Each structure stands twice: as C-alpha cells, then as structure tokens.
Amino acid sequence: MQATARATPVLVALALLLAGCASSSSSSSGPAISPASTVRAAERAPSRSVPKLIPPAGAPERSVRVPVLTFHRVAPLKPGAPAITTDLTVDPANFDAELAALQNAGYHTVSQAQLFDALYHGTPLPPKPVLISVDDGYVDDVTRILPALQRHHMVATFFVITGRFTMPGFLDPGQVRRLDRAGMDIGDHTAHHVDLRLLTPAQLRAETLGSRRVMQRTLGHFVYAFAYPFGAENQAVLDAVRAAGFTMAYTTAGGTTESTSAPLLMPRLHIGRAVTPSGLLALLGGA
C-alpha cells in the first residue's frame, strides 16, 4: 500500500472529526450501529497512515482502464442454498486458482490510492492493473480471502457493512482492523445494506455519513471508498455519498474504465461461482 507525507495533517483533522462525532447522534430509526464499548476499544487501537484521497481543485478529466473485480463470499457451498447465494459463493480452491491465473498472466492488483493517483495525478500504474473488491464483510474475508491474497502478494478492497459488526458470520471490529493492518483497503458498504433510494433524508445520512463515522472510529483513519448496496443509486443518493465525504464510489454496472468525470459511479465486474480461472482472464480481455 502507498502512503504519503501528508498523513500528519490528515490524522490531526481526523482527531477533530472524531471528537465531533462522539458528541453527535444519528437520526436513523434503525438499530444501533455499534456498541459504545466496541467503538471506544477501536479508538484505542494503533492506526496506520493512509493517503488523503481528496480530488485536487482543477484536476483535468482523465480515464484509466482498471478492471474492478467484485467478490462476495469465498466458502464451501451449503446444500440447498438459494440461487443468489450459490452465485455469490465462490469455491475456495477456485478463488485461489483465479488469483494464480491473474498472477501468471502478469496482472498486478492495485490499491485505492494507486487508482486515485492515476486518475487525479497521472501517476503510472503497474502493467495490467486490476483492483479486487470484496463486498459485505463476511468472516470469510479474514479466514480465507486474506490468506489467499497474501500467498499471491496481492491487495484488495473490502467493503464492510458496519451494522453487522456484532452479527454471527460477519467481521467484528477487530477483524476489520486486522485486514486494514495487513495492508488491505477498507471501504464502507452502509450500516444496514438497504436500498438507499427508499430512505428518508435522515435515514440516508445515517447510512452514509453515520456509517463512515463508525468505520473511521474503528480504523483510526479516514475512509474514502464506498459501495452502493445492490448498486442502487439516484441523484439524492449520490448527493448524500458526496456530502458524507466519500470521493470514490462503486456501482454494480459492468465496465473496466474509471474516470474523474464520474468518480462516484465507478463500474465493476461481478465474479460469481460459475467463473473459472480461464473465464476470468477471458472476461478481462485486453485489459
């Protein structure tokens, strides 16, 4: 992961932000996002430096070809699982083979900071760049996905649902920090994984800004990346995501080109259970 000398002012600003967050209350009528004791323990955890991913004023329009792959679960499939669960659950051996295929074909995984710098500063990317993203925050992220990534010397972005920190089968705050300290990127996937288009303004703010604040307290640093539940968005949702401070947001729309003209509507490629290693390489085509 890349870090910059700008980390010090970022951490100072974060301290001010967190102080303000502690005194504010959410306007959502949903369940509490995280117990106070969990948040306090997270705030005491050592932080790592992260780049400040805020678009500079007057940045020129620029596009880069970086396929963003979307995974959900990597686990053995339970008998009788519904079709949607089957599609979202990649076999562990197949996942490892997919990473090996990417590596052998010369692809290089990149971080959010690398993609941001390529878009806004024209910083060169490694040959055949690809960004791996993992949605929802299942415990598979630390038990199977992280070890596989480390075996192949790869990085990924994990989009985590903060309201599931205390739910069985999902990451708890300590496991999220484990991913972060291992050099993985952590993005926000709302508090409760609901269709944001259906919410009141107060609920929408709680699912975006409120969830971002919880994630930042958990990690001890800023979080800039966001993924829309179900890929559902409209202008009100985009405005809320922007107001919450996210500068890179991902949809479920297919595509391999990311652009500064639509940084909150970045496309991704869904990788389901039926995709084979050779099929993954074919899907990437000439990327």
Please, which residues have CB within 8 angstroms of residue 106's CB and are 6 or more apart in sequence?
127, 128
Asked if the structure places residue 112 within a domain, the reply is yes
Q: Which domain holds residue 67?
A: 63-282
Q: What is the mean pLDDT of each run of 10 residues along the chain (287 residues)?
A: 38 38 34 38 59 94 98 96 97 98 98 98 98 98 98 98 98 98 98 98 98 97 98 98 98 97 98 98 80
Hey, which residues does 258 pair with through a beta bridge?
64
Q: Which of 162, 151, 141 is nearest to 30 (CA)?
A: 162
Distances (CA, A) of 220 to 19, 176, 183, 249: 12, 12, 14, 21
Q: What are the structure tokens assigned to 279, written together?
A: 């099929």
Strand 63-65 vs strand 257-259: parallel, antiparallel, or unpaired? antiparallel
Cα gap 213→191, rounded to integer Å: 10
Question: What is the predicted pLDDT for the residue at 6?
Answer: 37
Cβ distance 266 to 244 under 8 Å?
no
Cα gap 220→44, rounded to integer Å: 8
DSSP 130-196: EEEEEEE-BTHIIIIIHHHHHHTT---EEEE-GGGTTSTTB--HHHHHHHHHTT-EEEE--SS---G
Query: How many domains, the chain?
Result: 1
Cα gap 125→162, rounded to integer Å: 31
Asked if the structure places residue 251 within a domain, the reply is yes
Question: What is the predicted pLDDT for the residue at 46?
Answer: 56
Asked if the structure places residue 157 within a domain, the reply is yes
Asked if the structure places residue 12 within a domain, the reply is no
215 CB neighbour count, 10 Å cutoff: 28
Question: What is the predicted pLDDT for the residue at 57?
Answer: 94
- 16 alpha-carbon distance from chain centroid: 24
Asked if the structure places residue 89 within a domain, the reply is yes
Asked if the structure places residue 194 within a domain, the reply is yes
Asked if the structure places residue 266 within a domain, the reply is yes
DSSP 230-257: GG---HHHHHHHHHTT--EEE-S---SE
Q: What are the structure tokens assigned to 179, written together?
A: 């991913």
- 258 alpha-carbon distance from chain centroid: 15
DSSP classification of residue 206: I
CATH number reported for the structural domain that contains residue 210 in this entry: 3.20.20.370
Task: Give the pTM.
Answer: 0.84
Asked if the structure places residue 134 within a domain, the reply is yes
Question: What is the predicted pLDDT for the residue at 285?
Answer: 87
Q: At what angle do helices 173-181 and 211-219 cross, to 10 degrees?
A: 60
